[in-house]
Every structure is written in structure tokens, then in C-alpha cells.
């Protein structure tokens, strides 16, 4: 399956989320995967489509900007507090 919209996602003209900037192909794949899982588990589609495939519906929803998403920073690996190393 060829997705012409993914090829058009460049930093200059990419759809964007106000909190996270441009929607990169990595974000599209990650968010679509999580949304496809929700659809497979019974969530209602947010776009009209002839396709009933959860994967295809999820991709259409992400590209139509109907799925909210955010990117959160991971906590430091040592349990939540950053430590400074002596130089």
C-alpha cells in the first residue's frame, strides 16, 4: 500500500500538533499503531470510510488530525532525580 501523504510530510508543510511541532512519519506510525489497537478493542471510528480495517482507519484518523497526541519526556533512569557528575 502506497501512502502518498506520508511522502508529503516534510518539516515545512507537515501537519502539526501545537504542543509537539511537525507530525513526522515516526509519529504517524506510532500514533496510528496505538489508535488501531483501540479500534480493534471496540473504540468508535472518528472518520467515515468504506474500509473497516482498524489499521487503515487509524491511519486515516491520524492524517485527518482527529486523534490527539502528545510527546512526554521520560523521567531520568535513576528513579526521578538527576544527579550531576563531578567534572
Check pLDDT > 70 for residue 7.
no
Q: Which single residue is written with the C-alpha cell 487509524?
A: 58
CATH of the domain at 41: 3.90.940
Confidence of residue 84 (pLDDT cuts 50, 70, 90): low
The predicted pLDDT at position 21 comes to: 60
pLDDT one-digit tens code per residue, 33-74: 999 999 999 999 999 989 889 999 999 998 888 888 776 666
Q: Where are the beta strands (DSSP E) in the chain?
A: 16-17, 21-22
Give the integer Cα–Cα distance in Å for 38 and 1.
22
pTM over 0.75: no
- Cα(28)–Cα(51) distance, integer angstroms: 19
How much is the mean pLDDT over the chain? 73
Burial class of 58 by CB neighbour count within 10 A (0 to 12, 13 to 18, 19+)? buried
Q: Is 11 a member of any domain?
A: no
Instruction: Give the structural domain span for 39.
Output: 21-69
Question: In whole angstroms, what is the distance from residue 46 CA to residue 60 CA?
Answer: 9
Residue 86 within a domain:
no
Amino acid at each position: 500500500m502506497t501512502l502518498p501523504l506520508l511522502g508529503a510530510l516534510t518539516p515545512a508543510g507537515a501537519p502539526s500538533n501545537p504542543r509537539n511541532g511537525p507530525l513526522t512519519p515516526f509519529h504517524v506510525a506510532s500514533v496510528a499503531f496505538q489508535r488501531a489497537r483501540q479500534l480493534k478493542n471496540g473504540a468508535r471510528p472518528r472518520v467515515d470510510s468504506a474500509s473497516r480495517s482498524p489499521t487503515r482507519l487509524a491511519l486515516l484518523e491520524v492524517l485527518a488530525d482527529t486523534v490527539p497526541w502528545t510527546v512526554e519526556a521520560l523521567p531520568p533512569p535513576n528513579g526521578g532525580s538527576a544527579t550531576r557528575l563531578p567534572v
